[in-house]
Every structure is written in structure tokens, then in C-alpha cells.
Amino acid sequence: MEKLSTKTFKNEFITTFDGDESGNFPPRQTPGVLYSKAIPTPVKNPELLAWSDELAEELQIGQPNEKDINIIGGNVLNPSMYPYAACYAGHQFGNWAGQLGDGRAITLGEWENSNKAIYELQLKGAGPTPYSRRGDGRAVLRSSVREYLMSEAMFHLGIPTTRALALVTTGDQVMRDLFYDGNAAYEKGAIVLRTAPSFLRFGNFEMLAARQEIPQLEKLTSWTIERFFPHLTGANKTLAWFEEVVDKTASLMVEWIRVGFVHGVMNTDNMSILGLTIDYGPFSFLDQYDLEFTPNTTDLPGRRYAYGRQPSIGYWNLGCLASAIAPLFEQPEQLSAALENYKTIYFSKYHAMMADKLGLDEFKAADQELIETVEKTLNLLKSDMTIFYQLLITLPAEATTEDLISIHFSPSFYELPNKVNQQELYQTINAYQKIISENQISPEASQELMRKSNPRFILRNYLLLQAIQELEKGEQTLFIKLQEALKTPYSTAHDEFFKLRPEWANDQPGSSTLSCSS
């Protein structure tokens, strides 16, 4: 097993593209280049808080020794590393924001394992880069624990995501104004070592288009296709590539909807070109089902990034990507057609997913009404999404009256439903029972399908908040428990967490409301 400190890293991105090699820190615009050299700023005392053994095994990376931990802390570099910050732009909350770039992420290099799989290794929180603008390039323990645990939780749910290999505390203090209300305070600093085949975003392409650097745009596009979509060849490969990005983005949105994940900041600089969940900030799982729920306090006025809007935002963001790469097309209308196809692709995947979630043998046109009804009823009752679907799996055939149905689902209620909503639930479940009775698969097979599609353990924000509060006091019990629980989200193994969000967490900052401050 090779170690971080002994491996010979690859650096294909920086050897392929032009960069600003000065290594200077001052924030600036960097026209003409795709990255800037950015050396991590040393920290006081890096200590390893978490290490993912499974991911390490996949990468074939040895347990970290002291030198490796110093690499994760940004104090030491392996001589084959060439650390850099990528230059990208983006649309934030629907508006063009111009150049953004990796303001607190530094890629160390590309790690290749014996199967020739390549992983970009990136430090998040390792100090300023030319793209830090007014930020300090640092990350706090709170946000680093959230990213570390949640990216691993998403992976184990089977959802495409960047991953986290290690988490260190830095021994430094970082000043943060949690709610941008003038109450800044010191928090513990931390760094996540995260991995992905690539951290390229829609915004990398938008940057080059905005600067009208078309040869560079063309080069980045061909490189991306060759390296990450090698099955695409021939004269129409750029269009085929965009079609695949559309497909992957639609799939990702369906997956988020399936498990009740709300990203919170779906700006185009946070949209992975590989269709991964990327940049974990003020995210949340739904506790009570609510299509309008956004965990991000900055998003509250418009709720642009609310749970139920994510699929249409995916489409909007793909529109930005299409505009960016349009100069590469002689007939840009081909791109428009591919973009418009998003809706068909999304709904076909969404319907198939919902059929699995409900335990139907297949999706039939007539099931659409049921799916809409279930969604509407859940939204009306504001039931706990995860608990509701678990109870649906064990719905007894005898539960045929309004009362019995209400009693069966009562563990998922945050509030007792009024008479009208109770009737609504009764009618929905009745319609469901009728459709499920026509299934061509056995009830056991149907339940099995539901068990695979409906998580029983989700990493709720209040659990993250509790784990973080404990860690801040030096206590790791819940943090360790959650690391275990998130590995088997579809099992009953961790039923101590199978319960409603407790009342104390209702309006708790860090639980139901979060900011981008990290």
C-alpha cells in the first residue's frame, strides 16, 4: 500500500492546461488560464479525526502516518504534488456571478490505483488561493464534519457523490459569523481531504465561454470527453457528451428526490460535470415532507433551491452549460433539443423510481395519478418522509378503515391530521392498496423492492448538530456511531435513530436552518 507521502502523483490537468504558475496569493481575475498554483497554508497542529477505511482500500492508500497527516493539514507536500486551485465561474441564485474559482479548495494531485482508476485528491479548507476573494480559504469543524459524514452517507445510499477520505482538525481557530448578523465568533478549524474522478463543474465551462476563450473551451471539452466519457467517439461526440450530462443530471435529481435530500445551493459552480453531488454546504434531508422546504437561510426569500424545485433547477443549470458550450456547435439548435429532452428523461426516471419506492411491479401510465396523490398527501400531512415510507412497507392488508390507516401511519406524524387530511390519507392509501393488489410480483418481492428504495436511516441535521456539539467538547461517541449507521442505511441495524426529529431541534440553527457560513 502506498502512502500519501510516498506515492508518485499524476498531474494531468495541470500539464494539459495553461495555468497561473506564480503561486501568488492576492485575490485576482486570472484570464487565459484554467487554474492557479496554490500552496496550502500550514496549520498549527493537524490531528486526524476520521479516516475512511473503505475508500482508502478502494484507492489502495495506506493508513496515514504523521507525515501523511501533515500532508492532509497542508503543512507538507509530497514532491510529486503540484497543488492548484481551479478557475471557474457560475450562476448564483439565478444571476451571473463571474469568476469564482476554488477559494478554499486545493487539489494536491491525481492518485492512480492499480486498476488505473484515477482520483483527484483535494483539500477543503487549506488556506487562501487567488480565488478566495474576501474569504480566508479556511473551513470550520462544523462544516467539515457535515461534508465528511454526508458525502459518505450519500455514497452508501447509492447516490453519485464526491467522497471524503479524511478529516483533520487544524489546531487553529477560524472566525465565522454563523448567521451573517454581526455575531462573529471563533470556531475550531478543520480540513477535509476529498476525492472524485474530477471536481470539474458546469462553471469551469461557463468561465471559458464568458471570457470568449473558445480554443481553451474546446480543449477542456475534448479532454473531459476523452478522460471521463471515453466511450464517446466520432463526429458527434460533443453533442453525445452533453446528452449524457443531461442524463446524469436528471438521474441525480431523481436520486435526491428519492431520499429527500435538499442540496441547498444548486448554483452552477456547484454542479458536477460528472453528475455527482458536490460541495456540501447548507444541505438537509427532509424530516417532514415539504416540497417548499429549503434549509438554506440565504435561499429563504425565493426558495429557489427548495426540495421540490431541484429537478427544474437541474434543467435551468443545464441551460447555462448549453449556452456555454454553444460556440462549439455549428448547429446550436441540436443542443436545445438535447436540453429539452431533459424533461422526458427526468420523468421517465422519476416514474420508475417512484414505482420502486411504492413497490409496484412496473410503472404504468395509470400509476401517475397515484404518484401525484401520494406526493400531494404527504405534502398536506407534512409527515416524516422516511418514516412514512417505512410504514408503507409494513402496511397490513387489514388496515382498511380510516382509523386503522391513521393509527398505522401515526409514528410518522409531527402533528395529528385534522379530519379532512385524515380522509385524504385514507383515500390515498385505498387507491394505493387497489393498485398494489394488481401487482404481478409477490407481496414479498414488492416489499423487497421498497426496502431497497426507501432508506431507513438518514443522516438528519439534528444528529449532525449533536455530533458536532459533542466533538467541540472533545467527545466522539455519536460521531463514531453515525459513521457506522450511514454504512447500512436500508437496514434496521441502527433503529435507535429511527424516530421523528425531536422537538428541541425544530427551529434550531444548524438543524432546521443553516447558512452558507462554513
The residues of the shown chain that bind Mg ion, judged by CB under 5 A, are 270, 279
Q: State how far the Cα of 248 lies from the Cα of 274, in Å rounded to an integer.
A: 7
Helix or strand or coil: residue 158?
Answer: coil
Least Å from the CB of residue 7 to ligand AMP: 26
- Helix (H) or strand (E) segment spanning residue 190: strand 185-196
Q: Smaller CB distance to ligand AMP: residue 7 or 309?
A: 309
Least Å from the CB of residue 190 to ligand AMP: 12
Q: Which residues pair with 515 in a beta bridge?
A: none
Least Å from the CB of residue 279 to Mg ion: 4
Q: State how far the Cα of 164 lies from the Cα of 160, in Å rounded to an integer.
A: 13
Q: Considering the rule CB under 6 A, would residue 101 count as an interface residue with ligand AMP?
A: yes
**Restricting to residues 117-136, which ones interact with ligand AMP according to CB under 6 A?**
131-132, 135-136
Q: Considering the rule CB under 6 A, would residue 206 count as an interface residue with ligand AMP?
A: no
β-strand 84-86 against 35-37: which pairing, if any?
antiparallel
Q: Smaller CB distance to Mg ion: residue 102 or 213?
A: 102
Q: Smaller CB distance to ligand AMP: residue 131 or 413?
A: 131
Q: Considering the rule CB under 6 A, would residue 187 count as an interface residue with ligand AMP?
A: no
Among 270, 406, 421, 515, binds ligand AMP (CB under 6 A): 270
β-strand 89-92 against 47-51: which pairing, if any?
unpaired
Q: Is the dihedral of CA 454, 455, 460, 463 positive or negative?
A: positive
Catalytic entry in 20, 68, 102, 269: 269
Q: State how far the Cα of 230 lies from the Cα of 104, in Å rounded to an integer.
A: 30
Q: Smaller CB distance to Mg ion: residue 162 or 270?
A: 270
Q: Considering the rule CB under 6 A, would residue 279 count as an interface residue with ligand AMP?
A: yes
Q: Considering the rule CB under 6 A, would residue 516 count as an interface residue with ligand AMP?
A: yes
Q: Smaller CB distance to Mg ion: residue 135 or 327?
A: 135
Q: State how far the Cα of 123 lies from the Cα of 324, in Å rounded to an integer.
A: 28
End-to-end CA, the chain: 34
| Only segment of 68-76, 262-270, 357-365, 438-446 that touches ligand AMP (CB under 6 A) | 262-270
- CB neighbours of residue 204 within 10 Å: 25
- CB neighbours of residue 143 within 10 Å: 24
Among 7, 91, 104, 304, binds ligand AMP (CB under 6 A): 104
Least Å from the CB of residue 263 to ligand AMP: 10
Q: 14 burial class (0-12, 13-18, 19+ CB within 10 angstroms)?
A: buried
Contacted by 472, from ligand AMP, Mg ion, none: CB < 5 to 8 Å by type = none
**Which cell numbers in the block locate residue 315?**
434543467
**Number of residues located near ligand AMP, criterion CB under 6 A:** 17
**104: annotated binding-site residue?**
yes
| Only segment of 99-107, 389-397, 438-446, 477-485 that touches ligand AMP (CB under 6 A) | 99-107
Known catalytic membership, residue 269:
yes
Least Å from the CB of residue 252 to ligand AMP: 17
339, 341, 344, 347 alpha-carbon torsion, rounded to 10°: -20
**Which cell numbers in the block locate residue 292?**
417548499
Residue pair 168/70 in contact (Cβ under 8 Å)? The answer is: no
The catalytic site residues sit at: 269
Residues annotated within a binding site for ATP? 101, 103-104, 124, 136-137, 194, 201, 279
**Which residues would be at the binding site for ligand AMP (CB under 6 A)?**
100-104, 131-132, 135-138, 265, 269-270, 279, 281, 516
